Amino acid sequence: MVDFAKARATMVDCQVRTVDVTDYDVLDAFGAVPREAFVPEALQPLAYIDEDLLVSAPGAPARYIMEPGPLARLVQLADILPGESVLDLGPASGYSSAILARLAARVVAVEPDAALAESARATLAGLGIANVTVVTGPLAAGHAAAAPYDVIVLEGAVEFIPEALEKQLAEGGRIVAVVGANGLAAKATVFTRSGGIVSGRPVFNTHVRLLPEFVRPKAFVF
């Protein structure tokens, strides 16, 4: 039997703290949310390995829970305040949304895989997490019905930020994303809306899986 509480504490100490995550609220969130609850039963013994975890059904487009270190750094970069509203794009089975729910007042999670979205709803409800709303839809469209958001988190690498998401960002709000799909060339970037203008600031290099909806179409070259 796996001692999940011990494995979770080890994850925080060896995978999260070691990548310069120092925010106590973020560390507490990662120490409190049971990652094993968000993966298929067969994967539960591996829930705390330092890797992405495949959680989509066989034959469905691949969807992953992001490995703990990069996810924690992105969450810390978002600098979420207790009263804020967060849009979580691509949470797969809902682990990231559970983390964000401990930091924000409310979370809207958009997941394109309907089966995973339903799984996320059930798991979150089972854990008593009531401040997350899970909706199914295209990630690049966000969820305008509940906008504006103080923070938008993209759970994967992107080549661009759609205008639709910028429009859903509150004044003073932040979009946190890994921009670039070329391995270590990708940079975790925080975009801030100020005076109606959204501008980005790269912060650190990292490598996460690509979100296909955020890939620029290949241009024809003569």
CA distances from 118 to 39, 61, 99, 166 (A): 13, 16, 18, 27
Q: Across-strand partners of 85?
A: 106
Burial degree of 158 (CB within 10 A; 0-12, 13-18, 19+): buried
CB 100 within 8 A of CB 80: yes
Rounded CA separation 59/61 (Å): 7
Task: Show the tokens assigned to 94.
Answer: 């809902």
Tokens of 23: 């925010």
The residue count of the chain comes to 222
The whole model's pTM is what? 0.94
Q: Backbone phi, then psi, for 101, in 5-degree steps? A: -65, -25
- Give, for all 222 residues of the chain, the pLDDT tens digit: 899 999 999 999 999 999 999 999 999 999 999 999 999 999 999 999 999 999 999 999 999 999 999 999 999 999 999 999 999 999 999 999 999 999 999 999 999 999 999 999 999 999 999 999 999 999 999 999 999 999 999 999 999 999 999 999 999 999 999 998 655 579 999 999 999 899 999 999 998 999 988 887 765 555
Tokens of residue 100, six digits? 């964000």
Sign of the dihedral through C-alpha 108, 61, 183, 166: negative
